[in-house]
Amino acid sequence: MRSPALRIYFPLALYALFLLFPFYWMLITAFKQNQELLNTPDPLLIYHWTFAHIVGLFTGTAYLQWFANTLIVSLGATLLSVAISYLTAYAIIRLRFPGSQMFGTAIFLAYIVPPSILFIPLAEILIRLQWFDKLWALIPIYATFIVPFCTWVLIGFLRSVPRELEEAARVDGASNLLIMFRIIFPIAVPGVITSAIFAFTLSWNEYLYALVYMSSSFNKTVSVGMTSELISGDVFQWGQLMAGALIGIIPALLAYFFLAEYYVAGMSGSLKD
Amino acid sequence: MAAVRLESVSKRFGKNVVVEAITMEIPDREFLVLVGPSGCGKTTTLRMIAGLETVSDGKIYIGERVVNDVEPRDRNIAMVFQNYALYPHMNVYDNMAFSLQLRGMPRAEVDKRVKTAAEVLGIGHLLERKPKEMSGGQRQRAALGRAMVRDPDVFLMDEPLSNLDAKLRVQMRVELVQLHRRVNTTTVYVTHDQIEAMTMGDRIVVMNEGAVQQIATPKELYDRPVNRFVAGFIGSPPMNFVSASLVREGDRVYAQRDDLKTLIPAALAVKLPTASRGEIVLGMRPEDVRVANATTPQSASGRVDLVEQLGSEQIGVIAVGSQNLLMRTSADTPLAAGDGIALSFNDAKLHAFDPDSGVAYF
């Protein structure tokens, strides 16, 4: 066990295999013919390729509409939440108003409350505002659970930005707003991107609120649309489900792929200068 | 260009008094050093002048103006921070130009000022670099440049050299003094390093526990410390202190302790309070402790405990009774650990302090 190949890469390879297996399963299922799904000599191989599931998904369901809905809601919720979170975290860490510490803790507690407890009171609010079954209503709703989390991430990140930078800018003649956006924000970008990735993934995967608050098929998101329209009773259309899931992971995949570096820097909360 | 004046300025954090009623006047163009151990209030004082800390009591003047409630950006000061505080996402040029751009200065003028300052500091070729692509010394110069381009009334520097390695620190020390001579801007410089303070300051303010101990030129501080704290803080190796009893023999006054008995010259003895209970703390700098010879009277006898060779000179640790005395002599004085030794003091340069209050008699 001396060589790094054995010590590091072998366990890593095992771990990768473990993590990637569900994706592999999803991939092959999306391209298998229906009769091969349950009755096949080797379930890990495809004997007869087919694109029928993917075609069926796009022609037989409103998948594209769901996809567009999810994208709009996720991007909207991400933008809104990150903007609010940056302002909140900045205020808590940099302005140090009376009670700011308590406020920070309160935000963390808000994150702990599970969404399933909140969906009835939230429904009440939505009905009173007459926002029920309105797609964009999901944006502020998602913000209710994303903002606490992103604020928490950004608080940790902003805390690591040296105070002297802000002070140097104050002496240099910058106003509070200018310091917040031109000095601290560029430094906080890794943290902002980390929280944005989180926000995006959380909203992309969200199921409960989208299920409860959106009733028409036109307003459904990917996760809700697929489970409600591709599962009827105990009949699972596995091929189309997996095809839909496969396409559904693309945005998150792209986000992580291009932003992984920032993500790591953001999570470790470190600022290499 | 402006003078700075502090009038019984205090700073409290809750019940905690950090700076207690300090008063000082910094004439235009002076290089003033605030020095003291950590937690003495020197940095807080500097930050109050900068406007980064509010003033609990008293008044701060920059020029003729009371600046207590003036925002840092309206005080026309420039500050250099210990960790440089360069904006990491901007290159050196933008770091230096930032404050000028905020003031709406024409682009050509900004360009001229930044380039001139960069040339003076020898970082003209680094203007495109980001802070992380530079060494500590280069970052330090960039931080100085950012302060210089402003052409401020006052430079405030908070331990700007303490993150540099020893050799570079000595070099930057010299450069800073030369720079000050060149731009002639009032400078307040904070350090915990008494050597930095002694070598750089026109005048030095020694602080301890939130209070000013003494304000004086380096020479005066060294030769005539007003109390035991200043005497012990300034000078390296530090002054020797010996608790001694006063013994009067006729009209002569001696200070005595164990194997140490030294005559206090009449000119100094008259400064001793007559009412004292006969105890003082005697102080002598290591260079005023010498090997006794035929022409000098013996003041103490002891044994050489340790010799530190410094090349041009040596520091001897001499055990006298229960106490160690440091002596600084030229390297060719024969000193060997274990040897018995007779010492004489340069008695014109003796110091004496009240054993309770620490106030200097002479």
pLDDT digits (tens, 9 = 90+) for B96-112: 999 999 999 999 999 99
Structure confidence at residue B275 as a pLDDT band (50, 70, 90): low
Report the C-alpha gap between B142 and B123 in whole angstroms. 7
Report the C-alpha gap between B150 and B152 in whole angstroms. 5
Structure confidence at residue A271 as a pLDDT band (50, 70, 90): very low
Query: What CATH superfamily classification does B4-233 receive?
Result: P-loop containing nucleotide triphosphate hydrolases (3.40.50.300)
- Is B329 a residue whose pLDDT tops 90? yes
Q: At CB < 8 A and 24+ separation, what contacts does A226-232 make? A: A226/A61, A226/A63, A226/A66, A229/A61, A229/A62, A230/A61
| Alpha-carbon torsion, ordered B218, B219, B223, B226, to 10 deg | -40
Contact B73 A170 (CB under 8 A): yes
Please check whether residue B233 is in contact with residue B226, taking contact to mean a CB–CB distance below 8 angstroms: no
CA atoms within 13 A on the CB side of B106: 3
Which has the minimum average pLDDT: A53-62, A260-269, B63-72, B280-289?
Answer: A260-269
Structure confidence at residue B189 as a pLDDT band (50, 70, 90): very high
Contact A186 B89 (CB under 8 A): yes
What percentage of chain B exceeds 70 in pLDDT?
Answer: 99
- Is A272 a residue whose pLDDT tops 60? no
Asked if residue A11 belongs to a domain, the reply is: no
Region A42-52: mean pLDDT is: 86
- Tell me which chain B residues have a C-beta less than 8 angstroms from the C-beta of A171: 50-52, 72-73, 77-79, 99
* Count of beta carbons in the 10 Å neighbourhood of residue B126: 21
Report the C-alpha gap between A49 and B81 in whole angstroms. 67
Residue A2: the pLDDT is 63
Region B312-335: mean pLDDT is: 91
Region A238-250: mean pLDDT is: 90
- Is B358 a residue whose pLDDT tops 60? yes
Residue B157: the pLDDT is 95
More confident residue, B48 or A255: B48
Region B204-210: mean pLDDT is: 95
Residue A20: the pLDDT is 93
The amino acid at residue A122 is: L
Residue B95: the pLDDT is 95
Region B163-175: mean pLDDT is: 90
Structure confidence at residue B159 as a pLDDT band (50, 70, 90): very high
Asked if residue A18 belongs to a domain, the reply is: no
Residue A37: the pLDDT is 82
Contact B81 A170 (CB under 8 A): no
Region B206-215: mean pLDDT is: 95
CB within 8 Å of B215: residues ≥ 6 apart: B24, B203, B204, B205, B206
Residue A136: the pLDDT is 92
Distance from CA of residue A20 to its chain's centroid? Answer: 19
Please report the ipTM that was assigned to this predicted complex: 0.85
One-letter-per-residue 3-state SS of chain B: CCCEEEEEEEEEECCEEEEEEEEEEECCCCEEEEECCCCCCHHHHHHHHHCCCCCCEEEEEECCEECCCCCHHHCCEEEECCCCCCCCCCCHHHHHHHHHHHCCCCHHHHHHHHHHHHHHHCCHHHCCCCHHHCCHHHHHHHHHHHHHCCCCCEEEEECCCCCCCHHHHHHHHHHHHHHHHHHCCEEEEEECCHHHHHHHCCEEEEEECCEEEEEECHHHHHHCCCEHHHHHHCCCCCCEEEEEEEEEECCEEEEEECCEEEEECHHHHCCCCCCCCCEEEEEECHHHEEECCCCCCCCEEEEEEEEEECCCEEEEEEEECCEEEEEEEECCCCCCCCCEEEEEECHHHCEEECCCCCEECC
Asked if residue A27 belongs to a domain, the reply is: no
Region B25-54: mean pLDDT is: 95
Region A11-37: mean pLDDT is: 91
B329–chain A nearest CA distance, Å: 45
Residue where the block lists tokens 């010394």: B137
Asked if residue A263 belongs to a domain, the reply is: yes
Residue A77: the pLDDT is 96
More confident residue, B276 or B254: B254
The class (CATH top level) of B240-353 is mainly beta
Residue A270: the pLDDT is 46
Domains of chain B by residue range: 4-233, 240-353
Could you give the number of structural domains in chain A?
1
Nearest CB neighbour to B72, from listed A165, A170, A271:
A170
- Is A257 a residue whose pLDDT tops 90? no
- Is B352 a residue whose pLDDT tops 90? yes
Report the C-alpha gap between B313 and B329 in whole angstroms. 6
pLDDT tens, B240-271? Answer: 999 999 988 888 889 998 889 999 998 898 88
pLDDT tens, A122-166? Answer: 999 999 999 888 999 999 999 999 999 899 889 988 988 888 999
Which of A94, A171, A180, A192 is the mutation pick for testing B, counting most B CBs within 10 A? A171
- Is A255 a residue whose pLDDT tops 60? yes
Contact B87 A183 (CB under 8 A): yes
Region A59-82: mean pLDDT is: 94
Which residues of B have a CB under 8 Å from any CB of A?
50-52, 71-73, 77-79, 81-83, 85-89, 98-99, 102-103, 131-132, 146, 150
Contact B89 A162 (CB under 8 A): no
What percentage of chain B exceeds 90 in pLDDT?
Answer: 75
Residue A177's domain is classified under what CATH number?
A: 1.10.3720.10
Task: List the domain range (segments joined by +) for residue A236.
Answer: 61-267
Q: At CB < 8 A and 24+ separation, what contacts does A190-193 make? A: A190/A157, A190/A262, A190/A263, A190/A265, A190/A266, A191/A153, A191/A154, A191/A156, A191/A157, A191/A158, A191/A266, A191/A269, A192/A82, A192/A86, A192/A154, A192/A266, A193/A259, A193/A262, A193/A263, A193/A266
Q: Note the residue count of chain B.
A: 362
Residue A43: the pLDDT is 83
